[in-house]
Structure 1
Amino acid sequence: MAVYVDRPLWRFAGRKWCHLLADSPEELHGFAARLGITRLSYQGPPKTSAPHYDITGLERSRALALGAVACGREEIVAVFRRVRVPNGKWREQTSLAARAGRKRAAGS
Protein backbone atom coordinates (compact mmCIF):
# COMPACT_ATOMS: atom_id res chain seq x y z
CA MET A 1 0.00 0.00 0.00
CA ALA A 2 1.21 3.48 -0.80
CA VAL A 3 0.27 7.14 -0.99
CA TYR A 4 1.06 9.11 -4.15
CA VAL A 5 1.45 12.79 -5.11
CA ASP A 6 1.95 14.36 -8.51
CA ARG A 7 3.68 17.65 -9.28
CA PRO A 8 1.95 20.90 -8.29
CA LEU A 9 0.94 22.23 -11.71
CA TRP A 10 -2.51 23.75 -11.28
CA ARG A 11 -2.79 27.35 -10.11
CA PHE A 12 -5.72 28.42 -7.94
CA ALA A 13 -6.04 31.12 -5.30
CA GLY A 14 -2.41 32.16 -5.75
CA ARG A 15 -1.03 28.67 -5.08
CA LYS A 16 0.03 25.64 -7.07
CA TRP A 17 -1.96 22.49 -6.38
CA CYS A 18 -1.53 18.76 -6.93
CA HIS A 19 -3.26 15.47 -6.04
CA LEU A 20 -2.86 13.11 -3.09
CA LEU A 21 -4.04 9.55 -3.81
CA ALA A 22 -3.64 6.19 -2.09
CA ASP A 23 -4.21 2.51 -2.72
CA SER A 24 -7.09 2.41 -0.23
CA PRO A 25 -9.58 4.93 1.15
CA GLU A 26 -8.47 4.20 4.71
CA GLU A 27 -4.85 4.90 3.84
CA LEU A 28 -5.80 8.07 1.96
CA HIS A 29 -7.81 9.53 4.84
CA GLY A 30 -5.27 8.45 7.45
CA PHE A 31 -2.39 10.04 5.56
CA ALA A 32 -4.34 13.24 4.95
CA ALA A 33 -5.07 13.44 8.68
CA ARG A 34 -1.34 13.06 9.44
CA LEU A 35 -0.75 16.03 7.11
CA GLY A 36 -3.37 18.04 9.00
CA ILE A 37 -5.74 18.12 6.03
CA THR A 38 -9.39 18.06 7.04
CA ARG A 39 -11.92 15.65 5.56
CA LEU A 40 -13.72 18.68 4.07
CA SER A 41 -10.94 18.81 1.46
CA TYR A 42 -11.67 15.25 0.30
CA GLN A 43 -12.78 14.78 -3.31
CA GLY A 44 -14.49 11.51 -4.10
CA PRO A 45 -17.69 9.85 -5.27
CA PRO A 46 -20.12 11.07 -6.35
CA LYS A 47 -18.28 14.34 -7.09
CA THR A 48 -15.37 12.59 -8.80
CA SER A 49 -14.67 8.96 -9.58
CA ALA A 50 -11.14 8.90 -8.13
CA PRO A 51 -10.91 9.36 -4.35
CA HIS A 52 -8.25 12.02 -3.68
CA TYR A 53 -7.32 15.24 -1.94
CA ASP A 54 -6.17 18.39 -3.72
CA ILE A 55 -3.13 19.67 -1.83
CA THR A 56 -0.76 22.63 -2.12
CA GLY A 57 2.89 22.46 -3.06
CA LEU A 58 3.82 23.00 0.60
CA GLU A 59 1.58 20.12 1.70
CA ARG A 60 3.17 18.01 -1.05
CA SER A 61 6.62 18.65 0.44
CA ARG A 62 5.35 17.49 3.83
CA ALA A 63 3.68 14.45 2.22
CA LEU A 64 6.96 13.44 0.59
CA ALA A 65 8.76 13.82 3.92
CA LEU A 66 6.16 11.46 5.44
CA GLY A 67 6.76 8.84 2.75
CA ALA A 68 4.43 9.64 -0.15
CA VAL A 69 5.64 8.51 -3.57
CA ALA A 70 6.33 11.31 -6.07
CA CYS A 71 4.73 10.61 -9.46
CA GLY A 72 5.01 12.09 -12.92
CA ARG A 73 1.99 12.63 -15.13
CA GLU A 74 1.85 9.10 -16.57
CA GLU A 75 2.31 7.50 -13.16
CA ILE A 76 -0.39 9.56 -11.45
CA VAL A 77 -2.82 8.88 -14.32
CA ALA A 78 -2.17 5.15 -13.83
CA VAL A 79 -2.91 5.53 -10.10
CA PHE A 80 -6.13 7.47 -10.86
CA ARG A 81 -7.25 4.67 -13.18
CA ARG A 82 -6.43 2.00 -10.62
CA VAL A 83 -8.27 3.63 -7.71
CA ARG A 84 -11.20 5.18 -9.54
CA VAL A 85 -14.64 3.99 -8.67
CA PRO A 86 -17.01 3.19 -11.53
CA ASN A 87 -20.30 5.09 -11.34
CA GLY A 88 -19.45 6.60 -7.94
CA LYS A 89 -20.16 3.31 -6.15
CA TRP A 90 -17.18 3.48 -3.77
CA ARG A 91 -19.12 3.31 -0.51
CA GLU A 92 -21.28 0.46 -1.74
CA GLN A 93 -18.29 -1.52 -3.04
CA THR A 94 -16.32 -0.87 0.13
CA SER A 95 -19.17 -2.00 2.35
CA LEU A 96 -19.82 -5.09 0.20
CA ALA A 97 -16.14 -6.03 0.34
CA ALA A 98 -16.09 -5.50 4.10
CA ARG A 99 -19.17 -7.70 4.56
CA ALA A 100 -17.66 -10.43 2.38
CA GLY A 101 -14.44 -10.26 4.42
CA ARG A 102 -16.36 -10.56 7.69
CA LYS A 103 -18.28 -13.56 6.35
CA ARG A 104 -15.04 -15.29 5.33
CA ALA A 105 -13.48 -14.53 8.72
CA ALA A 106 -16.55 -15.91 10.49
CA GLY A 107 -16.38 -19.09 8.40
CA SER A 108 -19.65 -18.55 6.53
Structure 2
Amino acid sequence: MAVYVDDAIWKWANKRWCHMLADDEAELHRFASRIGIHRSAYQGPPKTSAPHYDLTGFERDRAVRMGALAVDRAGILAVFRKVKVTGAKGTRRAVTAAAE
Protein backbone atom coordinates (compact mmCIF):
# COMPACT_ATOMS: atom_id res chain seq x y z
CA MET A 1 0.00 0.00 0.00
CA ALA A 2 1.13 3.50 -0.68
CA VAL A 3 0.37 7.13 0.11
CA TYR A 4 0.42 9.71 -2.69
CA VAL A 5 0.69 13.49 -2.91
CA ASP A 6 0.28 15.66 -5.97
CA ASP A 7 2.00 18.99 -6.64
CA ALA A 8 1.14 21.86 -4.31
CA ILE A 9 -0.22 24.16 -6.99
CA TRP A 10 -3.53 25.59 -5.89
CA LYS A 11 -3.65 28.68 -3.73
CA TRP A 12 -5.89 29.34 -0.77
CA ALA A 13 -5.34 31.46 2.36
CA ASN A 14 -1.94 32.62 1.10
CA LYS A 15 -0.62 29.05 0.91
CA ARG A 16 -0.15 26.46 -1.81
CA TRP A 17 -2.04 23.22 -1.31
CA CYS A 18 -2.10 19.66 -2.60
CA HIS A 19 -3.98 16.41 -2.02
CA MET A 20 -2.87 13.34 -0.11
CA LEU A 21 -4.56 10.04 -0.94
CA ALA A 22 -3.73 6.41 -0.22
CA ASP A 23 -4.61 2.97 -1.53
CA ASP A 24 -6.34 2.26 1.78
CA GLU A 25 -8.25 4.65 4.04
CA ALA A 26 -6.72 3.21 7.22
CA GLU A 27 -3.23 3.76 5.77
CA LEU A 28 -4.22 7.32 4.85
CA HIS A 29 -5.16 8.08 8.47
CA ARG A 30 -2.06 6.37 9.90
CA PHE A 31 0.22 8.32 7.58
CA ALA A 32 -1.53 11.62 8.31
CA SER A 33 -1.02 10.99 12.03
CA ARG A 34 2.66 10.17 11.47
CA ILE A 35 3.27 13.49 9.72
CA GLY A 36 1.33 15.46 12.33
CA ILE A 37 -1.94 16.08 10.47
CA HIS A 38 -4.94 16.00 12.80
CA ARG A 39 -7.85 13.72 11.93
CA SER A 40 -10.18 16.74 11.87
CA ALA A 41 -8.47 17.77 8.61
CA TYR A 42 -9.76 14.60 6.91
CA GLN A 43 -12.10 15.06 3.97
CA GLY A 44 -14.14 12.14 2.82
CA PRO A 45 -17.57 10.76 2.12
CA PRO A 46 -20.28 11.84 2.27
CA LYS A 47 -18.92 15.38 1.78
CA THR A 48 -16.37 14.41 -0.86
CA SER A 49 -16.22 11.44 -3.19
CA ALA A 50 -12.72 10.25 -2.24
CA PRO A 51 -11.02 10.00 1.15
CA HIS A 52 -8.18 12.51 1.29
CA TYR A 53 -6.39 15.24 3.18
CA ASP A 54 -5.48 18.65 1.80
CA LEU A 55 -1.88 19.52 2.67
CA THR A 56 0.08 22.73 2.51
CA GLY A 57 3.29 22.73 0.50
CA PHE A 58 5.24 22.47 3.76
CA GLU A 59 3.22 19.44 4.89
CA ARG A 60 3.62 17.91 1.43
CA ASP A 61 7.41 18.18 1.70
CA ARG A 62 7.30 16.44 5.09
CA ALA A 63 5.05 13.71 3.65
CA VAL A 64 7.47 13.05 0.79
CA ARG A 65 10.44 12.95 3.18
CA MET A 66 8.53 10.35 5.23
CA GLY A 67 7.72 8.11 2.27
CA ALA A 68 4.73 9.46 0.36
CA LEU A 69 5.02 9.11 -3.39
CA ALA A 70 5.02 12.37 -5.32
CA VAL A 71 2.80 12.00 -8.38
CA ASP A 72 1.68 14.30 -11.14
CA ARG A 73 -1.92 15.27 -11.87
CA ALA A 74 -2.54 12.12 -13.92
CA GLY A 75 -1.14 9.99 -11.10
CA ILE A 76 -3.31 11.53 -8.40
CA LEU A 77 -6.38 11.22 -10.64
CA ALA A 78 -5.65 7.51 -11.11
CA VAL A 79 -5.50 7.03 -7.34
CA PHE A 80 -8.67 9.12 -6.94
CA ARG A 81 -10.51 6.82 -9.35
CA LYS A 82 -9.37 3.75 -7.39
CA VAL A 83 -10.51 5.00 -4.00
CA LYS A 84 -13.59 6.94 -5.06
CA VAL A 85 -16.68 5.98 -3.11
CA THR A 86 -19.58 4.93 -5.31
CA GLY A 87 -23.26 4.53 -4.58
CA ALA A 88 -25.62 6.34 -2.27
CA LYS A 89 -24.58 4.33 0.79
CA GLY A 90 -20.87 5.00 0.33
CA THR A 91 -19.96 1.51 -0.84
CA ARG A 92 -16.26 1.55 -1.62
CA ARG A 93 -15.06 0.05 -4.85
CA ALA A 94 -12.31 -2.50 -4.46
CA VAL A 95 -8.88 -0.94 -4.83
CA THR A 96 -7.12 -3.98 -6.20
CA ALA A 97 -8.05 -6.51 -8.84
CA ALA A 98 -7.59 -9.28 -6.26
CA ALA A 99 -10.19 -7.71 -4.01
CA GLU A 100 -12.71 -7.44 -6.86
Q: Report the TM-score, using the length of structure 1 for normalisation.
A: 0.81
Is the alpha carbon distance of 1:5 and 1:88 closer, same or farther for their aligned partners in structure 2, counting shifts above 3 Å?
A: farther
Give the number of the structure whose residues are more often helix, by fraction.
1
AA of the residue aligned to 1:62: R
Find the aligned partners of 1:14 and 1:25 in 2 and give their Cα distance.
29
- Give the fraction of aligned pairs with identical amino acids, expressed as a percent: 59
1:13-38, Cα deviation, whole Å (9 max, x unpaired): 00000000001011000000011111
Q: CA deviation at 1:89?
A: 3.8
Structure 2: runs of 5 or more not aligned: 93-100
Two-structure CA RMSD over aligned residues (Å): 1.6
Q: Tell me how many residue pairs correspond in the alignment.
A: 93
Q: CA deviation at 1:76?
A: 0.5
Is the alpha carbon distance of 1:60 and 1:88 closer, same or farther for their aligned partners in structure 2, counting shifts above 3 Å?
A: farther
Residue in 1 that maps onto 2:58: 58
1:59-102, Cα deviation, whole Å (9 max, x unpaired): 00000001000000111100000111113644x65xxxxxxxxx
Structure possessing the higher radius of gyration over alpha carbons: 1
AA of the residue aligned to 1:79: V
Q: Report the TM-score, using the length of structure 2 for normalisation.
A: 0.87
Structure 1: runs of 5 or more not aligned: 94-108
Find the aligned partners of 1:71 and 1:7 in 2 and give their Cα distance.
7
Residue in 2 that maps onto 1:47: 47
Find the aligned partners of 2:86 and 2:41 in 1 and give their Cα distance.
21
